[in-house]
């Protein structure tokens, strides 16, 4: 199977590329524009694999994408390229509309044209997989409710609105033009190679630097957390076995308040890398003004993917977090240039977004 991964130099995309190339029957073409969030260093361990290739291109560039689809004889598109940081979407929404909405539209048009020209049986097995977020469903109360695949969309932020728009476009290209699509909506991911503007790496690295650990509001907002390799495995399963036109929720069944996430990171670091002054890292927690429009709670009902494919996360939040912290402690070659470059983690608060 020749697979085009868009956004493969990002956090989840790079984990997905690493996962897919481990299967020698896959050939993976990673198409990425390399925005601030794209980092080829995340792909160092696979960059010389014979079944991996990187192409620098923008999903908005129809000619470039069409060229790759034809020259690489692509049988599956896994679409992850996006602007993803909620705080950035509040400061400057335009890039989110450009890539997430217009970019997805252009990619759909290019994919449709390509699919229509495919001979059978290649057209029959071709899939366009759209990777999306639980944030499209909006805000849940603090109870035991959860989003399922039929939950109506009610996005709150420019980021989630742009992802909701892209989900609608993907469904429309299926219903109207017959493009064989599958969709997934996933909760918050964490793991290695996560850009340090997001909550988990931001807190780990700020703690190691003895800097404040910013928490929005009172830290009571609840998110569900999934280890990134579990997401990659679920994406491959859905792409291979998901029913055309269907969407699947993916989640970790690990709801935590933001404050608890930060405290768990502090406690784990206290054990693994105690501070010189022997105080707990918890002393560095600093509550900051809440994000506007901050959704209270997200939670995923993942019974469909569990029932249909037997998928379950392999990592609990505690084991996944421990692995993640070990990775950041051992891999400063990856994150130090980012922290010492344009991004230092001074301005942004504790994002809990995708």
User: Residue from 26, 89, 99, 268 that binds ligand NAD (CB under 6 A)?
Assistant: 99
| Contacting range for ligand NAD; rule: CB under 6 A; set: 65-73, 108-116, 148-156, 188-196 | 188-196
| Contacting range for ligand NAD; rule: CB under 6 A; set: 70-78, 169-177, 185-193, 306-314 | 185-193
Provide the angle, in degrees to the nearest 10, between the axes of the packed helices 317-330 and 332-340: 70
User: Residue from 46, 60, 305, 325 that binds ligand NAD (CB under 6 A)?
Assistant: 60
Give yes or no for a contact between 76 and 4, defined as CB atoms under 8 angstroms apart: yes
Rule CB under 6 A: say whether 169 interacts with ligand NAD.
no
Contacts of residue 245, Cβ cutoff 8 Å, sequence gap at least 6: 171, 174, 175, 180, 181, 182
Task: Show the CA angle centred on residue 97, arms to residues 94 and 101, nearest 5°.
Answer: 170
Cα(176)–Cα(163) distance, integer angstroms: 20
Rule CB under 6 A: say whether 59 interacts with ligand NAD.
yes
For this structure, is 134 an active site residue?
yes
Cβ of residue 119: shortest distance to ligand NAD, in angstroms? 28
Cα(16)–Cα(187) distance, integer angstroms: 16
| Peptide linkage before 121 cis (omega within 30 of 0) | yes
Three-state secondary-structure class, residue 295: coil
Size of the site for ligand NAD (CB under 6 A): 32
In the set 32, 83, 87, 134, the catalytic residue is: 134
The neighbouring-strand residues paired with 249 are 185
Please report, as residue ranges, which positions from 102 to 161 form the binding site for ligand NAD (by CB under 6 A).
103, 131-133
User: Residue from 18, 27, 33, 256 that binds ligand NAD (CB under 6 A)?
Assistant: 33
Rule CB under 6 A: say whether 46 interacts with ligand NAD.
no
Residue 103 or 219 with smaller CB distance to ligand NAD: 103
In the set 58, 83, 87, 135, the catalytic residue is: 135
**Looking at beta carbons, which residue is closest to ligand NAD?**
10
The neighbouring-strand residues paired with 133 are 186
Three-state secondary-structure class, residue 44: helix
User: Residue from 4, 5, 81, 183 that binds ligand NAD (CB under 6 A)?
Assistant: 81
Residue 59 or 140 with smaller CB distance to ligand NAD: 59
Contacts of residue 330, Cβ cutoff 8 Å, sequence gap at least 6: none
Rule CB under 6 A: say whether 189 interacts with ligand NAD.
yes
Residue 43 or 269 with smaller CB distance to ligand NAD: 43
Give yes or no for a contact between 116 and 128, defined as CB atoms under 8 angstroms apart: no
Binding mask 9-28 for ligand NAD (x = CB under 6 A): xxxxx---------------
Cα(256)–Cα(253) distance, integer angstroms: 10
For this structure, is 159 an active site residue?
yes
Cβ of residue 198: shortest distance to ligand NAD, in angstroms? 7
User: Residue from 82, 208, 259, 300 that binds ligand NAD (CB under 6 A)?
Assistant: 82
Cβ of residue 33: shortest distance to ligand NAD, in angstroms? 4
| Contacting range for ligand NAD; rule: CB under 6 A; set: 77-85, 171-179, 298-306, 337-345 | 77-85
Written in H, E and C, the secondary structure of 225-287 is EEEHHHHHHHHHHHHHHCCCCCEEEECCCCEEEHHHHHHHHHHHHHHHCCCCCCCCHHHHEEE
Cα(275)–Cα(102) distance, integer angstroms: 47
Please report, as residue ranges, which positions from 216 to 235 form the binding site for ligand NAD (by CB under 6 A).
none
Task: Show the CA angle centred on residue 79, arms to residues 136 and 116, nearest 5°.
Answer: 115
Cβ of residue 117: shortest distance to ligand NAD, in angstroms? 23
User: Residue from 4, 29, 38, 352 that binds ligand NAD (CB under 6 A)?
Assistant: 38
Provide the angle, in degrees to the nearest 10, between the axes of the packed helices 62-71 and 104-117: 40
Residues within the interface to ligand NAD (CB under 6 A): 6-7, 9-13, 32-35, 37-38, 58-60, 80-84, 99, 103, 131-133, 163, 186, 188-189, 195, 354
Catalytic (active-site) positions: 134-135, 159
């Amino acid at each position: 199977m020749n697979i085009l991964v868009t956004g493969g130099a990002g956090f989840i995309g790079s984990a997905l590329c690493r996962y897919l190339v481990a299967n020698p029957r896959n050939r993976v073409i990673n198409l990425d524009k390399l925005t601030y969030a794209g980092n080829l260093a995340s792909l160092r361990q696979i960059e010389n694999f014979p079944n991996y290739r990187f192409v620098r291109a923008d999903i908005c560039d129809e000619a470039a994408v069409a060229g790759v689809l034809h020259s690489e004889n692509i049988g599956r598109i896994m679409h992850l390229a996006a602007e993803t940081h909620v705080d950035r979407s509040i400061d400057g929404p335009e890039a989110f509309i450009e890539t997430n909405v217009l970019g997805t539209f252009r990619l759909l048009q290019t994919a449709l044209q390509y699919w229509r020209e495919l001979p059978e049986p290649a057209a029959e097995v071709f899939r366009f997989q759209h990777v999306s977020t639980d944030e499209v469903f909006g805000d849940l109360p603090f109870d035991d409710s959860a989003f399922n695949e039929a939950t109506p969309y009610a996005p709150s932020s420019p980021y989630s609105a742009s992802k909701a728009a892209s989900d609608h476009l993907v469904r429309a290209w299926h219903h109207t033009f017959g493009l064989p699509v599958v969709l997934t909506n996933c909760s918050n991911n964490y793991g290695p190679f996560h850009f340090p503007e997001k909550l988990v790496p931001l807190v780990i690295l700020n703690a190691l630097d003895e800097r404040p650990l910013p928490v929005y509001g009172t830290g009571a907002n609840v998110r569900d957390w999934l280890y990134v390799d579990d997401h990659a495995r679920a994406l491959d399963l859905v792409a291979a076995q998901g029913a055309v036109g269907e969407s699947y929720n993916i989640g970790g069944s690990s709801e935590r308040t933001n404050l608890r996430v930060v405290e768990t990171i502090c406690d784990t670091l206290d054990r693994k890398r105690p501070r010189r002054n022997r105080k707990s890292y918890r002393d560095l927690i600093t509550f900051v003004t809440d994000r506007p429009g901050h959704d209270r709670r997200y939670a995923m009902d993942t019974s469909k993917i569990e029932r249909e494919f037997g998928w379950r996360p392999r990592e609990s939040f505690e084991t996944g977090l421990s692995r993640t912290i070990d990775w950041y402690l051992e891999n400063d070659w990856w994150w130090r240039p980012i922290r010492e470059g344009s991004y230092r983690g001074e301005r942004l608060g504790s994002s809990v977004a995708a």
